[in-house]
Structure 1
Amino acid sequence: MDQSMHGLIGLSGGEWQDLCTRVLRMQHGTDLVVVPDKGGDHGLEAYTLSGHVFQCYSPTEPLKTQKRYEKQRDKTTEDVGKFIDNSEKLKKLFGEHVRISRWIIMCPYIDSKDLAAHCAAQTKRVRAAKLDYVDPNIHVICQTMEDYEFSYKKVVNGQLSRMHLPALTEPDYGSVDSSDVDKMREKLGKVHSLRDESLRGEYVKRLLYSYLNSQDFRAYIKDHYTEIHVLLESELDDLEQRLVMEFVLDDTRPATQLKKVLAETEKRVKECAPDTTSGDSRTLAHGQVAEWLMRCPLDFYDDLAS
């Protein structure tokens, strides 16, 4: 799976549906008809005039492969059933000129071949129903965003070009657990230039300022820019894995390590959200580093401080 799409796993149902709708609009243009949720969706979120029906489904993660498959299987069975049972309403919805040739369930991640086999069984089920609005050669299939990679990236790039974050505010420092602050202060004490208590205290305060504002930024991005949120969280998760597996082996001085991590984090943030100001990118990056210092993925060796 493309790294930029890995963060799609775990999106809420509403977030996934919103993203799918954006991408399908980009893919199909005015050929796409979105079906409002009000009154029930009858087993579909949207359809095209050329005969493709879409249902979007994102199960609550984390899940193991078998459990994920079972949830996807059951959702497919349930909504294909709606597609069959609501025949009178769907006949009116599609009219005389639309014949459905593809019923598609879109999921963030599919890692079991059994889902494709189940869709084949559901194909037989739909064909046997002999519905007026269904092409005799209809197929039930499963897809991910990788099937719409070009349109997905166009949607992401469109979001990047208009991203604007709220203004920075003076945060409530008391909302951070004191033990986490002590942990950060202790680790930064290994940095030679921060051994002075007053200098370290000011540095910790600046990191906490970035941390608390970055939490607000990330919540705002998640609510208003789903695609950027996916990219950003995926990149920061990947970088955290590097902290655990690679940076821990770095034998440079603590100050050098800290600079390296700060620079790499800011670089990743800027790549995910190039339209943000330098200050906002830095706030997001420094806030993430502060979190790593408090949660422990980032630490330094005592014997390197001198």
Structure 2
Amino acid sequence: MDQSMRGLIGLSGTEWQDLCMRVLRVQYGADLVPVPDTGGDHGLEAYTLQGHLFQCYSPEEPLSYQKRYEKQRDKCTRDVGKFIDKADKLKKLFGEHVKINRWILLCPYIDNKDLVAHCASQTKRIRDANLEYADPDIHVICQTMEDYELSYKRVVNAQLARMHLPPLSEPDYSSVDSDDVDKMREKLGKVSRLRDESRRQDYVRRLLQSYLNSQEYRAYIKDHYTEIHALLESELDDLEQRLVMEFSLEEGPPAALLQKVIQETESRVRSCAPDTTLSDSRTLALGKVAEWLMSCPLDFYEELAS
């Protein structure tokens, strides 16, 4: 899976449906027919004039490999059942000129081949029902955003082009756990230039301000720029793995490692959201570095005094 798409795992049902609809509009244009939820649940989000029907589904994560499959399987079974049982309503919905030839379950992530086999069984189920609005050669299939990669990237790029972050509120330092602040202060004490108490206190204060501001920014991005949020969180999660597996093995002085991590984090942020100002990018990056200092992925070997 493309790294930018891995972050889509765990989107809420509403977020996932909103993303799917925007991608499908890019993919199919005027041939896409959205089906509003009002007036009853038809078991579908949209269909195309060429006969592709879409049901978007994002189960609540985290889930095990098996549990994710079971939820996807059961969703497919239920909504294929609606496709069969709601014949009178669906005949009116599709009219005389649309025959559904693809019933598609669109999910953020599919990692179990048994879901493909289950879709095959649901294909037989629909064909056996001899529905007027279903093509005799209909197939039930499962897909992800990888099947719509170009359209997905166009949606993401459109979001990037218009991304603007709001003014920040006054930081509430009392919301940060004092034990976490002590961890940060202790780790930064290993950096020679920050052994001076007043200098370190100022550095900690600035990091905490960035941490609180970045939390506010990331919440706003999640609510208003779903695709950018998914990409950003995926990149930062990947960088956290590097902190644990690679950066912790480096033997340079703590100051050099800290500077390297800050630069790498800011670079990742800029790659995900190039339209943000340098100041906002730095705030997002420093906020994440502060989080790592407090939650332990980032630590330093003790630097001997010279």
Q: TM-score, normalised by structure 1?
A: 0.98
Query: Residue 257 of structure 1 aligns to which amino acid in structure 2?
Result: L
In structure 2, what is the Cα distance between the partners aligned to 1:98 and 1:277? 48
The C-alpha deviation readout for 1:132-168, integer Å capped at 9, x for no partner, is: 1111111000001100011111110110000000113
State the alpha-carbon separation in 2 of the partners of residues 38 and 80 from structure 1: 19
Aligned residue number for residue 270 of structure 1: 270
Q: CA RMSD in A?
A: 0.9
What do residues 244-300 of structure 1 show as CA deviations (whole Å, max 9, x unaligned)?
000100111111010000000000000000000000000000000000000000011
**1:127 match:** 127
Which runs of no fewer than 5 residues in structure 2 stay unpaired?
none
SS, match of residue 59 in structure 2: coil
How big is the shift at 1:64?
A: 1.7
Map 1:43-54 onto structure 2 (within 5 A): 43-54=43-54
| Match runs of 1:93-112 below 5 Å | 93-112=93-112
2:211 counterpart of 1:237: no
Following superposition, the deviation at residue 44 of structure 1 comes to: 0.4
Residue in 1 that maps onto 2:183: 183
Q: Partners in 2 of 1:305 and 1:256 — Cα distance?
A: 15
For 1:269 and 1:70, the matched residues in 2 are separated by: 35
Q: Is the 8 A contact 1:103 1:139 kept in 2?
A: yes
Residue matched to 1:217? 217
Partner of 1:287: 287
Partners of 1:97 and 1:23 lie apart in 2 by: 25
What letter is aligned with 1:84? I
Contact 1:253 1:305 in 2 (8 A): no
Partner amino acid, structure 2, of 1:77: T
Contact 2:253 2:303 survives alignment (8 Å): no
Q: Which residue of 1 aligns with 2:254?
A: 254
CA distance in 2, matches of 1:224, 1:238: 23
Aligned to 1:198: 198
Shift in alpha-carbon separation, 1:256–1:135, aligned structure 2, 3 A: same
After superposition, the C-alpha distances for 1:100-148 in whole angstroms (9 at most, x for unaligned) are 1000000111111111111011001101111111111110000011000
Classify 1:230/1:304 alpha carbon distance in 2 versus 1 (closer, same or farther; 3 Å).
farther
- State the identity %: 77
Pairwise CA distance, 1:226:
0.3
SS at match of 1:264: helix
Q: Which residue of 2 aligns with 1:27?
A: 27
The amino acid across from 2:104 in the alignment is I
Residues 1:141 and 1:205: Cα distance change in structure 2 (over 3 Å): same
User: CA distance change for structure 1 residues 36 and 304 in 2, over 3 Å: closer, same or farther?
Assistant: farther
Cα deviation for residue 38 of structure 1 reads: 1.7
Structure 1 residue 60 displacement after superposition: 1.2
Residue 168 of structure 2 is aligned to residue 153 of structure 1: no
Cross-structure match for 1:7? 7
Secondary structure in 2 aligned to 1:302?
A: coil
Unaligned runs of 5+ in 1: none
Give the whole-Å Cα distance in 2 for the aligned partners of 1:304 and 1:167: 42
The 5-angstrom pairing of residues 18-97 of structure 1 reads 18-97=18-97
Shift of the alpha carbon at 1:305?
A: 5.4
Cα drift, residue 236 of structure 1: 0.0
Residues 212-253 of structure 1: CA deviation (Å, up to 9, x unaligned): 010010000000000000000000000000000001001111
Whole-angstrom distance in 1 between the partners of 2:40 and 2:3: 35
Please state whether the residue corresponding to 1:105 is helix, strand or coil.
Answer: strand
* CA distance 1:177–1:6, change in 2 (3 Å): same
Q: 2:164 — aligned with what?
A: 164
Work out whether residues 7 and 230 of structure 1, in 8 Å CA contact, stay in contact via their aligned partners in 2: yes
Q: Secondary structure at the match of 1:205?
A: helix
Q: CA deviation at 1:40?
A: 2.9
User: What is the CA–CA distance in structure 2 between the aligned matches of 1:276 and 1:217, rounded to whole Å?
Assistant: 11
